[in-house]
Structure 1
């Protein structure tokens, strides 16, 4: 917990008698001294409010908007008066937009409320809302996803950082780029919906509120005065004293309808569980009689326990209330604080999978054609003791051998050395210019790759073990466990492999872009490892679109377990679809001058890192082995995950 967010307990007790009485009532007067001895600090009572305000009007390809700058400046001034620490950004291009989000994510750590206000162009694409930087220009779906800012991605960067997140999005204005994209996609026979208005997104994190200027799928007015109708109403009603946020927004909605002649009605998407007041009442209201809320004392003690957040306080709460409706949640908080932390020296128990022979290689042959320790050996991993690989075991690994080096570590598959043609031919359906020119790439040494993309169970083990920066990404309602982890940035993926390396003492990392395509193709040259068409029985994608001779299928609209569908010839699952997979490389516009030895490209545009594989939310052409995506390394998105690699000592 950052020191700037805490003050000594004795200061809290001296400042407020109410807090002291609550502590005493919860723990018993005799335990107050014990609490002081156990805790030298608790969170400060002052509310921390932070806000990111962005106004984009000077668009290069979408036409200038008059009011966003006024909207942003006026909103920033209003929020500052309401106690927010405001970061204001005007006319943000893609790079400045992403930097603003990354900086704000850091600023929001430990905040009671983090608010985002955006005024400018936006659009709905499939099930996601996209906010447009001023340099946005795109002609197809792939460019649109990679040159805009996904609202879900923006919100995910705040997961676990602020207690409450509020997003006010004044972004439904007329957008010619959305019109052009829709026309191009209709001409290409694409079925993904494109709307000038915004999409109804799923809110994964609790205590999150998203407010659109108008209902999803419809456009909002920029306004003929200084501000848009939506911002005009917000500026008028946010400072209302003593009115809770939901009631404020009802007033905002009524005012917008009045200003637009009922042509526009704001939309609220809410998972708020607690109340929030932009401007609390000055006077302290008289407490309601206890009979009106028999659980008031328990609620207050729970709030106190949340502030202290130590095992002793949670146990005291559980002992006092025993069967209260908040006790189950208190037990979860206690369990999270007392969970054992794995160390690099531990040897967790694990039953390793049986070895698998690769077709065409003799059982004892090493991938480089040699033998193990001067003789013929075969590593049998099926009955292997629970520990990291020994030096001898590691030297004797063969292509398609599997291993797992701790109970919570990913299952790994050995990939042999070899050469392949990287990129796509100019005749391949759906080809993008950044997939060429084709070239021969050589993978000089065998290496290990995650059999599956990293799952939520594996990520959550990292968090429980003190790694992954403590970040717990939302699952968008798909569930955790064997589902692929999502809402993770490149930086998050790097934090995971760093933790994995520390726990095992081995060299875990992300794949290079060449290694990823080599492993995905597994000796094949077609768009997908199984051939030139695709069906939803082979991968998870937007099945209402087709590729090659394939037919329309199911659009599941969510992720599926990491072990779904068949493995490729190297033994890897879901190299096509389900989630995009981060790799190590910096992004380049093409392969001219790129490494041909399988190493990582670190000389091009490192403002962006590369993603591979496509996702559940994409048309099937984006699942091809050659497709290359790019994204800011600090940004999180609801369909981005990753797969790990491990360097082998031979």
Structure 2
């Protein structure tokens, strides 16, 4: 009787005697994620991952996890066998709302920044324990671990306390020097607010010795003056031909400037450009970098192999040809006039160091319409063009031909218009011959327009004439002094004071709005059609056109 009772008790409790006599089933259960409570027939037997010796037969498996729905499965366990279960728990989601005072705080969830700023509601967020960090510049950050259970709707409100702040300004020389707060993502800006404390600061600028220092920011306006010292290297140039004029361009601290080269010149470290010019040679340009060890460089200029006076056209990629061009050689001339208007003075000698190609005619509507269709007669000059339209055409023409097209400088224009002559007009001083060469204000124009001062001759044209309708100047260029005024590249200056002795355009400093306009037009009085006459253009006009220059 006692033995029978002992066996019954052992059987009901799955004791060792029952397992020894009848045998068991080995259960191996793992879940993703782990940590699920395992129940067999409503009795807790462990937590996954789990190995358990179970009584054979039918049983109900139940898995409970705090962040996933319950899992239930009926099992048939066989004596002496091992049953392996690898169960992926069903995903679950909840909602997390974060509110801050002040608003617009940044939220970092599990190490990644949330795109929206507070207040923000994060929908369909996977359940689990989430690391939340909330911060806004100038406030104490708050960090919390939040457990999100299935279908939960959790809301958190955070009061972000102010941090004591001070402003920081680095008064630096040169003014363009960069300031970096080492170890901080926030970029420096003058009078920026920072939490009080110590900051590592670096000030740097190309060609200067950088400075690094520690700055203590107190609860006040904090300013520190930093002057960077320049670094120099010695520049040694070997120049051929020896008569070449060499300039060195580098940042002088207040912007880039040109300096005449001299032997063993000291140049600040950093980027620099050298340019050499000599009559009959192609301009030589190189971008170089100076170091404190110095720099040696050989300048070997190539002679021009061109034929002055040759006419040609460039092929366009889209088909057809560009404007007719004529090559002009380098040379010198006297620009301006001592007896003209005040803005034509002082007369000075200008040297054109580089040959160039200039359009034989003013640009026509037919040529411009390839870029932008304005309609009109093909051989009439293109007018009513803004400065932007002129620039657009020149950029287009440069792309179409793979050569550099631009406006002539004022000096190049007058050099081309004078064509080696020295009188008021390229054909001499006899105004009565003006109608042979140019379309200006004359007796033909007076038949429809009133003007007090006009040429006494008759050119047979009332307004615009097709280009090339009159005689050319000695260089073979047409309509240089009439038909339409012509834009040139220079900004307007009220006279020739301070103008360069080369043909370079004056574009760096503009005293007034507008650009220089050269040449007369169909309405011009004879005195306003002289080669030295100049005016200012500020907007498009039906009597204003242009002609192109192509660099060789």
Shorter-chain TM range is 0.3 to 0.5
TM-score w.r.t. length of structure 2: 0.41
Higher helix share: 1
Ranked by relative contact order (alpha carbons within 8 Å, sequence separation 6 or more), the top structure is: 1
